[in-house]
Amino acid sequence: MPDATDRDEIYRESLALHARHHGKLEIRPKVPLRNGDDIARAYAPGVEEVCRRIVKNRDLAYRYTLKANTIAIVTDGSAVLGLGNIGGLAAIPVMEGKAILFREFAGIDAFPICFENYETDFVDQVRNIAPVFGGINLEDIAAPKCFEVEDALQDIGIPVMHDDQHGTAVVVLAALLNACRVTGRKYEDLNIVVCGAGAAGYSITRLLKCIGYDPLVCTMVHEITVCDTQGIIHRRREGLYRNKYKFILSEETNRAGKTGSLADAMVGADVVIGVSAPGIITQDMIRSMNKDPIVFAMANPVPEIWPDAATEAGAAVVGTGRSDFPNQINNVLAFPGIFRGALDACATRISDEMKVAAAHAIAGCVKKPHRSHILPSILDRSVTKAVAAAVAQAAESSGCRRAI
């Protein structure tokens, strides 16, 4: 269990850090301004010619401006970490933190764009700020709005990705590929239970089941059963028409038509993936699964089941979202490299091929996986390079690279 004293100390130190520096980001010039000639080249009149070139060829913004290496981290503050709907202002510290991760791991300049109380014009607002950025990372937006916003922004000519969805799904796929190597399972034979049907659960299910993905680049697991707070999602469940995305899951998963609770879903499963709430998976549920099950309990800070309890109940491989246990399943393994590769390719969007390539690149960074080591460390800087190279190549092969 986490030590409350240690957590309180981290809170105190974090408050002092943020107060001392007034946040975690600053903007610095890349060019000197020592004299009038420097100003004439960096600003007027020299900059006029740069503007004229971009007017003639809009893609030259990637050559002459910060667009080539800058993304926006966009949120409305409606689903921030475990804090819920705290609004855009209170979300700034989290978005600043995400921005420094982009800088440290991928050399990307990222800037928080935090909206407050967005309504129906949120998509238009994001669309209107897009010209200055080479990509947009949607962050901490509650479901189902996160799906709607991402879908509506796919035509703006730059990559737009909701990291809580796709970053999580990519890392889960990578972890699952290596967990299969450890347990001797075939990926395509897996019977999986996904606990949680929000942003992460929806996208994990879509990627592992290849829902909406090109079958030529996506390998589908045998079956997935998705559970939410009401139990198993199935075609005959009342009220699904009110939620388009759960309706999609009901149509594309659970072919056997199972009904009942999470406990019912887990009987005979090979894998359970938790992106839901603390403490909702019991040891008896683990014991009801197939021999040597794979357990990813990713609720944070308290997982669906603690790793030692899962292992004691028979789990062969256990992963969590925490850094103090083996097999941390963390988006930091994915999003810096995905956006680095997308920016390097001046990509118009993030394709199926790019996401799948990222997952395989992450898995490939662990040469000899074992039950306590199925993913590389989030501090391993070589992961970002491997993911970026794979994503840039996939952007080329999938027709998303912009020729500059």
Mean pLDDT in residue range 234-238: 91
Burial of residue 324, with CB atoms counted within 10 A of its CB: 0-12 exposed, 13-18 middle, 19 or more buried: exposed
pLDDT digits (tens, 9 = 90+) for 303-334: 999 999 999 999 999 999 998 899 999 999 99
Q: Crossing angle, helix 163-183 and helix 335-344, to 10 degrees?
A: 110
Q: What is the mean predicted confidence (pLDDT) over 364-378?
A: 96
Low-confidence winner among 114-123, 153-162, 266-275, 348-357 (lowest mean pLDDT): 114-123
Average pLDDT over residues 182-186: 97
Cβ 281 vs Cβ 313: under 8 Å? no
DSSP 370: B
3-class secondary structure for 257-326? CCCCCHHHHHCCCCEEEECCCCCCCCHHHHHCCCCCCEEEECCCCCCCCCHHHHHHCCCCEEEECCCCCC
pLDDT band at residue 82 using 50, 70 and 90 as cut-offs: confident
Q: How far apart are CA 99 and CA 105, in angstroms?
A: 10
In the structure encoding, which two tokens stand for residue 214, read together? Answer: 């090109």
Q: Is 98 a known active-site residue?
A: yes
Least confident segment among 3-7, 288-292, 314-318, 330-334: 3-7
Q: Is the pLDDT of residue 113 over 50?
A: yes
Inform me whether the pLDDT recorded for 258 exceeds 80: yes
> How does residue 301 score in pLDDT terms, banded at 50, 70 and 90?
confident
* Mean pLDDT on 287-304: 95
120 pLDDT band, cuts 50/70/90, is low
Q: CA 225, CA 28: separation in Å to the nearest integer?
A: 50
Query: Domain ranges in the chain?
Result: 22-158, 163-404
| Whole-angstrom distance, CA of residue 367 vs CA of residue 354 | 21
- Burial string for 264-295 (b: 16+ CB within 10 Å, else e) reads bbbeebbbbbbbbebebbbbebbebbbeebbb
- Residues 347, 351: Cα–Cα separation, whole Å: 9
Report strand pairing: 294-297 vs 317-320: parallel
Q: How far is CA 399 from the centre of its chain?
A: 23
Identify any residues that bridge with 70 across adjacent strands, giving them in sequence order: 109
pLDDT at res. 1: 44
43 is a catalytic site residue: yes
Nearest to 327 by CA among 339, 314, 338, 318: 318
CATH number belonging to domain 22-158: 3.40.50.10380
CA dist 230 and 261 (Å) reads: 8
Q: Active site residue: 67, 98, 209, 385, which one? A: 98
pLDDT of residue 242: 81
Which value, to the nearest 10 degrees, does the dihedral of the CA atoms of residues 267, 315, 275, 263 take? 20
CATH of domain 163-404: 3.40.50.720
Is the confidence at residue 3, as pLDDT, over 70?
Answer: no
Average pLDDT over the chain reads: 94
Q: Is the dihedral of CA 129, 132, 135, 139 positive or negative?
A: negative
Q: How far out from the chain centre does Cα 285 lie?
A: 28
Looking at residue 111, what is its pLDDT? 96
CB atoms within 10 A of CB 180: 23
Confidence at 116, pLDDT banded by 50, 70, 90: confident
- For residue 366, report the phi and psi dihedrals to the nearest 5 degrees: -110, 105
Amino acid 249 reads: L
Tell me the mean pLDDT in the region 133-137.
Answer: 97
Question: Whole-angstrom Cα distance, residue 141 to residue 206?
Answer: 19
Close Cβ partners of 305 (under 8 Å, ≥ 6 residues apart): 274, 279, 281, 282, 283, 286, 295, 297
The stretch 142-162 carries a mean pLDDT of 93
Q: What are the pLDDT digits (tens) for 55-68?
A: 999 999 999 999 99
- For residues 394 and 347, the answer to whether their CB atoms sit within 8 Å is no
Mean pLDDT across the stretch 197-220? 94
Burial class (CB in 10 A: 0-12, 13-18, 19+), 133: buried
pLDDT at 336 over 60: yes
Q: What is the pLDDT of residues 20-44, one digit of tens each?
A: 999 898 888 999 999 999 999 999 9
22-158 and 163-404: identical CATH topology: yes
Looking at residue 300, its pLDDT comes to: 86
Closest among 257, 289, 291 to 273, alpha carbons compared? 289
